[in-house]
Amino acid sequence: MTNKYSNNSDRIKLFNNRLRALKIIFTAFAVLLAVYLFAVQILDIKHYSKKAKAQRIAKKFIMRGSILDRNGIKLASDQLSYNVYVHRQYMDHTPEEIAHKIAKYLGMTESEVATIIKNNPNNIILLKKDIDRPTVENMRKLGLREISTDRKNCRVYPQDTMAAHILGYYNADADVAAGVEFTMKKELEKVDKDIVIETTRGGDVIYDFKTDPEKITSPTIGKTVTLTIDSAIQHVCESELLKMIMEKQALRGAVIVMNPNNGEILGYAVYPTYNPNDFKAATYTQLKNWTLSDVFPPGSTFKVLTVASAVANGKIHRNSTVCDSGRVEIGGWTISNYDYHKFPYPGDINMEYLFQHSSNVGSLKVALLMTPREFYNSLYKFGIGQKTGIDLPGESTGLLPKPETWDMSRHASMGYGYGASVTCIQMISAISAIANDGLKVTPHVVKYPEEELPKHVKKVRVMQPEQARLVTEFLTKSTSRTKLPLNLSNYQVASKTGTSRKTMEGAKGYTDKLYTSAIGYLPASDPQVVIYVVVDSAKGWEIWGSTVAVPVFAEVAKQVARILNLKSDKSPNSGFKACTRPLPDLEAERLEIEAEQKALHKFSLFPQNDKKNVKNQKKSFFGNDKKSKMKNAKKSANNGKINRKKKN
């Protein structure tokens, strides 16, 4: 009996000990939990409140800024649109019932909506993209919890195809862009200050005393970008180009109008084109801006750069002549003038005759007056063989072989436009330098604020003002003697036409297709616009620059002169009128360029490793160094003496 009670007493004692231990453990846990909660809610409240707030914070939805032409005409803007989804886990209705309710809002048939829901196994099903806001608001009134929407930007181009290759396009879904939409992406999406808001899990705004309802409800829009493009000039360029493309059933074409004095591009038509509103339907050929990426032999328009290079190197002056034999053999190749059968031996010709008759033999002889290195250096200064720096994506450098690789035939062919390959933008940039008294300015399509210009627009002197004006005189006098439409009635035009054979793709040699072109500037006495027309693979008889490109050039020139209200510098029997504007102050120009470069360095607009390039660029502003200038001056003086002796 005693033994039995003893066993019970031990069991009770053991139970009490265990219960006590459990109480201690639970008490300790409760104390620790209380300490932890005290620390979280009292001592460390700021940390955890920030953490919670971070989960609720979202940046306000930003719309891209608009793109305008130089006169404020809207070319691109953002429009809010919505995507509509079905959530399978929240479906209170059958696919047929859902389709019956919302099909009319989506612009779809009921069977189309029901089929999408049935055949898509995902929990979240996309029904339709790019629905406008009023439609979405009406659909929300149905109160279907299985339907949700998300907001996004929809880029709209109100002028449709106008300036498509300049504007580019913007794909909001993939954040992919082209043209100005790509190069100015940061600016278009830039806001003065990010507006941060707190939202619930469902996306509703959490208002507190600090919330500004006006800022929350008003749209946040990026910066507006203004282009240099003039819509009126752009329309003329596109219309006239399209007429000729259709008439000649040509493959491609381009018309570029540029202000040589500041590098602003006023018109830039490219064919084939596309509608940025429906860029997904465009082919690669339509989307590509071939005027920036594709190179071609420029043909006779390049003769302008040949003569300009010779003038800059002191090889050609006002009274210089070369012997044009009509045909010549160089390096095993026979090179003839296009009019050899009509004028078999022109004899000694001056530069005006060379341009007027587009003499191949004369041009190659001018080229051979220079060493390969001299000719190469001058062409490179004009921008051949390097990017112009235009503010559009996809530009290529062109092809300018190193002078060490030139044999006699390549050196000669370079003179009449077959040794190098250029892009359209390179060619108009180079000719613009001559029109601008020898100062090359970076071509650009964005109208930058004055303080940002040095970052985007560079100035490089490629030849002396007097030399550039001499080349302009040669071109103007030769144009005035032609019966082509280039010879305008109210304006002196400095121009040159070109025709070149198209190279074979992926192989050596040429096809039977032709590039036809015309380039020039007006008024020649005070150049305000440079116009370049190129048409690729025109069909029919008599396919020349004079028959295909010139009619486009002439009509564009007349319309541009009217739109810009250019002052006439020509009247019947008035003769040649020299440049009327004063010569540029080279010392002031040098100081201005140096000041711009210092500003660029000050604000770290140039990378550190570009300092050497900038230093080299400084040396190139006035062409050659002092020794080279003296050498060229002596050569020019000697040439004058020789000519006077011959004359005597």
**Residue 119 belongs to some domain of the structure:** yes
Q: Which two tokens stand for residue 442?
A: 């970076």
**Residue 132 belongs to some domain of the structure:** yes
Quickly state the pLDDT bin for 35 (edges 50, 70, 90): confident
The pLDDT value recorded for residue 606 is 41
The pLDDT value recorded for residue 492 is 96
Query: What are the counts of helices (DSSP H) followed by strands (DSSP E) for the chain?
Result: 24, 22
Q: Do residues 217 and 238 both lie within one domain?
A: no
Q: Do residues 308 and 405 both lie within one domain?
A: yes
Q: Do residues 130 and 89 both lie within one domain?
A: yes
- Where in the sequence is the domain holding 340, given as residue range(s)? 233-584
The pLDDT value recorded for residue 242 is 98
The pLDDT value recorded for residue 44 is 67
Other residues' Cβ atoms within 10 Å of the Cβ of residue 393: 16
CA atoms lying within 13 Å on the CB side of residue 492: 25
pLDDT tens string 256-269: 999 999 999 999 99
Q: How many domains would you assign to the chain?
A: 2
Q: Do residues 411 and 460 both lie within one domain?
A: yes
Coil, strand or helix: which one is 373?
helix
pLDDT tens string 112-153: 999 999 999 899 999 998 898 899 999 989 989 899 988 888
Looking at residue 397, its amino acid is T
Let me know: does 543 contact 502? Beta carbons within 8 Å. Answer: no
CATH number at residue 93: 3.90.1310.10
Closest CA to 389 of 322, 460, 444: 444
Q: Do residues 139 and 254 both lie within one domain?
A: no
Q: Do residues 95 and 176 both lie within one domain?
A: yes
Q: Do residues 193 and 286 both lie within one domain?
A: no
CATH number at residue 400: 3.40.710.10
Quickly state the pLDDT bin for 8 (edges 50, 70, 90): confident
Beta bridge partners of 226: 68
Q: Do residues 550 and 566 both lie within one domain?
A: yes
Q: Do residues 475 and 577 both lie within one domain?
A: yes
Let me know: does 390 contact 458? Beta carbons within 8 Å. Answer: no
pLDDT: which is higher, 165 or 121: 165
Other residues' Cβ atoms within 10 Å of the Cβ of residue 384: 26
pLDDT at 614 > cutoff 70: no
The pLDDT value recorded for residue 613 is 43
Closest CA to 621 of 388, 472, 465: 465
Q: Do residues 253 and 212 both lie within one domain?
A: no
pLDDT tens string 298-347: 999 999 999 999 999 999 999 999 999 999 999 888 999 998 999 899 99
pTM above 0.75, yes or no: yes
Coil, strand or helix: which one is 25?
helix
End of a domain among 584, 599, 628?
584
End of a domain among 226, 254, 279?
226
The pLDDT value recorded for residue 332 is 86
Instruction: Kindly give, in sequence order, each residue whose CB lies less than 8 Å from that of residue 340, ignoring residues fewer than 6 positions away.
Output: 326, 327
Q: Do residues 250 and 205 both lie within one domain?
A: no
The pLDDT value recorded for residue 62 is 74
Q: Do residues 193 and 323 both lie within one domain?
A: no
pLDDT tens string 214-247: 555 556 788 999 999 999 999 999 999 999 999 9
DSSP 621: T
pLDDT tens string 188-207: 988 776 555 565 555 555 66
The pLDDT value recorded for residue 612 is 42
End of a domain among 556, 584, 612?
584
Q: Mean pLDDT, the chain, as a whole number?
A: 86
**Residue 404 belongs to some domain of the structure:** yes
Helices (H), 440-509: 453-456, 465-480
